[in-house]
Amino acid sequence: MCPPSTSRTCRDAPRQALTGEAWRVGTMAADRSGDALSDACGLDGASEPLLSGVLANGLGYVCASRPGTRTVYAELTVKAGLRHEPEGQNGVAHMVEHVVGRQTAKYDDPGFRRATDCIGAQLNAGVKWEWTSYHVTALAPYLEESLDLLREMVAYSRILPADVETQRRIVLEEIAQTADSPDMLLLQRVAAALYPDHPLGRPICGTPESVASLTLGQIEQFYRRHYLPNNAVVTLVGDCDSDRLCAAAEHAFAGWAAGPVPDIVGEVTERMLLNQAVVVVAVPVVGEADPDSPAIELLAWVLGGGPGSPLWETLRESRGLAYRLGCIHRAISDAGFVVAYCGVKRQNVDLAVAEMKEVLTSRPVELGTDRVRGAIAGLLTRFALETQTNAGYGAYLARHAASGDVSAGRRRWALLATATPEALEAVRARHLRPERCVVAKVLPLRGLSGLAGGLRMLWRVRHR
């Protein structure tokens, strides 16, 4: 357990002093009559029940004690992502993420960085479709100091014109870097094809044109409208008892004032200087709130998640078309997609696309009990690896807390554990249909035009 911090007194605050009701989310009881797999579905990651609640200003909190880990992880998640951007302001959420914390009510720019260095903290942030997250990892004795940095960054930033222009140049470089990555480019093109004329179909970083046109007023307005305690949740995980974690959260964020929360298919081809073509077949599916979502995630693993899956057997083991391949499922609250991908020679692109479409949507697949249970075990293995650290487990909790239901993850595992071959077949027929497929390809440049294009790309990289 971490020693008390000498700079804060909230450690001694009585538990009942926490504003708002807190409740314990009971740990899922494993079925002891079952086997190790059903027991594993009770994976929790915390040494004691989660403690969660809402402060008087509307800020949600989730706390999980993990004794012996020696660090604390804190994440402040704001519901201000890509889908919240106003029309004509693509990239504004990402620009806000870049400029906050440069100047705050308490720190100037070098002062904030020095305060971070003084406690050896690792501070970072990122923008997603539905939220922006700010997170810090530090040694456990620096819990309160870490939350002080997080609060200043998110709640009390001052956005100055000079900082906006500096970060604008950095973001433009980030966009250029993304354009040189076939994987990132494909994801952007798939999203644009799946969600045309919708914020979810736009690039998170924005485009060079949209970022260049963002004004200081637009950036400030997005920050003021969305960065509110009643539009956010803080997640704390680490080597402190849960009561102290919650008391520290209240001490850090109770003074943050609340405010009104704002309301809230085709084929694409790109050409790049590559040795291989990169191919994606995507199918839009329902979001996490839909009862079919856990089964869709399981289906993605069954179809292409492991070396014994139909996608691997077809593209790699039988035909020898690809070395890198896989199938993934991604979802937010009300939207999602399943993506099969591979890297192949240019002359094998059409064959790979046809095979991936068939594996995803129509080819008969042996969905026996052993295959389904193996897929569940594969997902559990991935989950265990991703949540071994405080940062990994904290990010997992924060994602569900931001959706308003920290228990959703446990219920999802319970549904996965009871999946049957018949249920997966029915879900596949409902959601993975051939006519819904979107194909995206990044092809190698060819001929004289390819040579000219390649030289232009090399010049751009050299002179960046």
Residues 238 and 93 in one domain: yes
The reported pLDDT for the residue numbered 427 is 92
Across-strand partners of 270? 442
CB 214, CB 95: distance < 8 Å: yes
Asked if residue 136 belongs to a domain, the reply is yes
Partnered with residue 268 across adjacent β-strands are: 440
83 and 164, same domain (yes or no): yes
For the chain, report the end-to-end CA distance as a whole number of angstroms. Answer: 48
pTM across the whole model: 0.77
170 and 310 in a single domain? The answer is no
Rounded CA-CA distance 405/398 in Å is: 10
In-domain check, residue 362? yes
Per-residue pLDDT tens, the chain, 464 aa: give them.
Answer: 343 333 333 333 333 333 333 322 322 223 322 344 444 444 555 555 788 899 999 999 999 999 999 999 999 999 999 999 999 999 999 999 999 988 898 988 788 889 999 999 999 999 999 999 999 999 999 999 999 999 999 999 999 999 999 999 999 999 988 777 777 777 888 888 888 878 888 999 999 999 999 999 999 999 999 999 999 999 999 999 988 999 999 999 999 999 887 765 455 555 555 567 888 899 999 998 888 999 999 999 999 988 889 999 999 988 888 888 999 999 888 889 999 999 888 889 999 999 999 999 988 888 888 888 888 888 888 888 999 999 999 999 998 888 777 777 777 888 888 888 888 999 999 999 999 898 988 887 664 444 444 444 444 444 44
Residue 249 belongs to a domain with what CATH number?
Answer: 3.30.830.10
Q: Are residues 272 and 229 in the same domain?
A: no
Residue 149 in any domain: the answer is yes
* Residue 364, domain extent: 267-447
Residue 109 shares a structural domain with residue 30: yes
Angle made by CA atoms 207, 213, 214, in degrees to the nearest 5: 95
Does residue 462 fall inside a structural domain?
no
Alpha carbon distance 453, 179 (integer Å): 14
In this structure, are 217 and 86 located in the same domain? yes
Q: Which residue has the tokens 């494993």?
A: 30
The predicted structure's pLDDT at residue 173:
93
The amino acid at residue 325 is: L
Question: Is residue 316 domain-shared with residue 398, that is, in the same domain?
Answer: yes
Total tally of structural domains belonging to the chain: 2
